[in-house]
Structure 1
Amino acid sequence: MIKISVLLLAFTFFSCGSNTDKSKENAVKNVSEAKLTDEQLLDVVQKQTFRYFWDYAEPNSGLARERYHPDGVYPENDYNIVTTGGSGFGLMAIISGISQGYITKDQGVERLNKIADFLDKADRFHGAWSHWIDGNTGKVKPFGTKDNGGDLVETSFLAAGMITVREYLKEGSEKEKAVAQKYDALWKGIDWKWYTNNKNVLYWHWSPNYKWEMNFPLEGYNECLITYVLAASSPTHSIDAKAYHEGWARSGGIVSSKTKYNIPLLFKHNGAEEFGGPLFWAHYSYVGLDPNQLSDQYANYFDLNVNQTKINYEYCLANPNKVAGYGADYWGLTASYSRNPDGSVGYNAHMPSNDQGVISPTAAISSIVYTPKESLALIRNLYENHKNETWGNAGFYDALSLGNKWVAKRYLAIDQGPEVVMIENYRTGLLWKLFMNAPETRQGLQKLGFHSTKYGF
């Protein structure tokens, strides 16, 4: 079970008294929370958000549910649907939870072993898992009509988590080494080369029914850099570096000379070349891939991500649509649940060029490694001033439009996961160290022409 902080226990104790006691409680609570240090505040957020992947994981598989709705109402009966990519973030979150003492190592290893056994039996397509999996059966749950086979991008997020787990456990007890070996075998079974379709580019999908009909080549820039890094890193099914340079980097066409708010974009963001894309593009590939001091012939990747985040932040400060509340402590646009015009809950890829007046807490929180001051301002504002509306049993809710008095009191794995992992990387760098020091990662990055002064290559 997750350890409950002394502070929260104290609040629970105070709440048992009379109305007078409750008034005193509110005063004490406000003062106490205002005095939380940045480190204490981050620990509270990380610990609570971690619960998504521990207390609210899909029970049969142990993997991350696609979504968690505290009210128990789910669309299309998908209570047991797990997400491949979100589960990759979840694997890293479990390592973080062990390291921070939220769970014991034995508890974490038991869950990781359960997950590995489930994934070993689940549907795979040339080694890749589908976007969604039925947590009861291990069978593919189609994400769309033709999207009923392998999803290489989601698989790459999962594989990054697998490598991290292996590195964390490989020198441990005999049981820990055995679990590490399971993840090693799973990751090495992914046939990255198959997904080139004999061309110098990777493709997102392959289906046994529809083959390559979705025809979605992975061209930069978006969230898919890690897919090329892992495909080049595979010791069993590696791709040629040409796929990265000609496919992903489009023979240099990925580079942009544009600026916004006097901040260079550096890359052409697909479909969002003026302001950059949704902020998850600065998160998903970099939960394990450390952008600090990482560069290749196209960009410095820390600068790339800092710049995208700052442009997103500056847009919210400029607030051209006059959205109520946008400012230095209420910002961050990325894909999440969203507010439909009628006030119902939908889904949208929020970004400056698609501003729906909805802030996604994961946008700023997961950017803490790039903009610590600005991210902490958002966290502190929500926690201290809007906790009653925005805080639930798995951390901050997924999407907010406070000016409209609207909150999507729901959670998505792909949003909660980067929060836990990036807070951990900000606090300790643990997950970056594990992933970047894996021998395959280093070899793959060097194969593609990357350099990291931080890691000595």
Structure 2
Amino acid sequence: MLTLLWAIPLFSIIQCSSGDIATATPPTPTPPATPLSDEQLVDLVEKSTFKYFWDYAEPNSGLARERYHPDGVYPDNDAHVVTTGGSGFGIMSIIAADSRGYISRDQTIERFTKIAHFLENADRFHGAWPHWMNGNNGDVVPFGTKDNGGDLVETSFLCEGLICVREYLKNGTTAEKALAARYDALWKGVDWDWYRNGQNVLYWHWSPSYGWQMNFALEGYNECLITYVLASASPTHGITPDAYHQGWARNGNIVSGNTKYNLPLILKHNGAEEYGGPLFWAHYSYVGLDPNQLTDNYANYWDLNVNQTKIDYRYCVENPHHYAGYGPDYWGLTASYSRNNDNSIGYNAHMPSNDVGVISPTAAVSSIVYTPTESLAAMRNFYENHSALLWGPAGFYDAHSQQYNWSAKRYLAIDQGPMVVMLENYRSGLLWNLFMNAPEVKTGLQALEFHSGKYGF
């Protein structure tokens, strides 16, 4: 079964009308005559992509817009829709930018203060934020008819960022320590245990209007591992390990014996058990959760993610559909904007078993921690040879197809964020170290019988 993230309301992405803001589009840069070094290229992509969360953030909340359209044309009222999960990635991106000197510490504290105030006053449902919020007032914006309440998975992506902020600021100035305490209180306010609905499994949604009618249990492998880690880590509303082992791991049935290209899948990827799922499954939980030397009763998580990435890469090199351009420097299938048959922009969960000839730059770029050589080759090709269609004011656009000479000249927060954070983890390990050294995270992982040789437990 496909995860709910793939089933977002496509009408909200495909249909466009004049929005309530207009944005001037900066000129598209021309690649230099002398090729950039690998380090210069990585820095350029990280810094440019970060602009999504800084220059083009939702102005009232300081958080990440669900999407940014450089042409200023949005679906009705969509320019002020804030995304909870994408904002978590964006918060982590601000930490990376501060550490790199892309912004000053004063700017960082100002933005984090604005974000804290917004989140403290936004709608919450047993502590969980909704998938979307109105950036003007913090009110829930329904993601679907029955999805108008708490979204535990999006909340967990946000909490990755909240914990990292706390860890980043907790030993700073008096003002920074006070801000760290506010972020600490925000994540500790999530009632993870409530979202078990009295059972040994976590549920994605709860609505004050529809209760548990969405009925989406988090079980089997997809992007939701981090939700169980944080639910176990919570010192205020934690879950017992039974929910993880019986629910998520399906009493051990999560383990897969399948291989592709002689690479074990290791865990059963929900609905994608031949090649594995879209590559965001190797990114969202792991922007903070460091898979290096991380194991539990079911998987070695480094091997899991490296294998999924290499299977995606090898599939694109094999190119069974003979799409133009696919190869060692043009690869990466994940959920993103996509091309409809009439050449309009839609949305699709691209993966080897659902390949329509569209490459998503976030797939290869965010995988740099797993496949540095292959990811750098793709980044260089994207930038040096396809900038006319693929490079814009916030770095690489969301999707591209050589086959159709097409690109989606738009951005999505959930694709931009992992690029910034994983590039920083590749360069310094900063976000991994902040998250993994949080005492509650270590305790929560140990309770679930995880072991990390890198972090000493």
TM-score, normalization by structure 1: 0.93
Q: Summarize the alignment of residues 249-260 of structure 1 with structure 2, pairs less than 5 Å apart.
A: 249-260=249-260
Q: Summarize the alignment of residues 144-155 of structure 1 with structure 2, pairs less than 5 Å apart.
A: 144-155=144-155
Name the residue aligned to 2:11.
Answer: none
Amino acid at match of 2:235: P
Amino acid at match of 1:406: W
Alpha-carbon separation, structure 1, partners of 2:365 and 2:102: 20
Name the residue aligned to 2:271.
Answer: 271
The structure with higher relative contact order (CA 8 Å, sep 6+) is: 2
Alpha-carbon separation, structure 2, partners of 1:371 and 1:223: 19
Name the residue aligned to 1:323.
Answer: 323
Name the residue aligned to 1:248.
Answer: 248
What is the root-mean-square deviation in Å for CA atoms of aligned residues? 1.2
Amino acid at match of 1:158: L
Superposed displacement of residue 403, structure 1:
2.0
Q: Summarize the alignment of residues 11-410 of structure 1 with structure 2, pairs less than 5 Å apart.
A: 30-32=32-34, 34=35, 36-410=36-410
Superposed displacement of residue 106, structure 1:
1.0
Alpha-carbon separation, structure 2, partners of 1:317 and 1:38: 22
* Partner SS, residue 172 of structure 1: coil
Residue segments in structure 2 that go unaligned for 5+ positions in a row: 1-26
Identity within the alignment, % = 73
Superposed displacement of residue 367, structure 1:
0.2
Alpha-carbon separation, structure 1, partners of 2:32 and 2:112: 39
Amino acid at match of 2:441: T
Amino acid at match of 1:31: A
* Partner SS, residue 33 of structure 2: helix
Superposed displacement of residue 37, structure 1:
1.2
Amino acid at match of 2:263: I
* Partner SS, residue 337 of structure 2: strand
Amino acid at match of 2:403: G
Superposed displacement of residue 30, structure 1:
4.2
Superposed displacement of residue 220, structure 1:
1.7
Alpha-carbon separation, structure 2, partners of 1:336 and 1:436: 28
Q: Give the length in aligned residue pairs.
A: 431
Superposed displacement of residue 437, structure 1:
0.2
Alpha-carbon separation, structure 2, partners of 1:353 and 1:202: 28
Superposed displacement of residue 230, structure 1:
0.1
Amino acid at match of 1:78: D
* Partner SS, residue 400 of structure 1: strand
Name the residue aligned to 2:9.
Answer: none
Alpha-carbon separation, structure 2, partners of 1:357 and 1:134: 34
Amino acid at match of 1:321: H
Alpha-carbon separation, structure 2, partners of 1:97 and 1:179: 18
Superposed displacement of residue 31, structure 1:
2.9
The Cα offsets for residues 411-444 of structure 1, whole Å up to 9 and x where unpaired, read as: 0000000000000000000000000000000000
Superposed displacement of residue 386, structure 1:
1.2
The Cα offsets for residues 196-241 of structure 1, whole Å up to 9 and x where unpaired, read as: 0010000000000000000000012000000000000000000010
Alpha-carbon separation, structure 2, partners of 1:456 and 1:319: 42
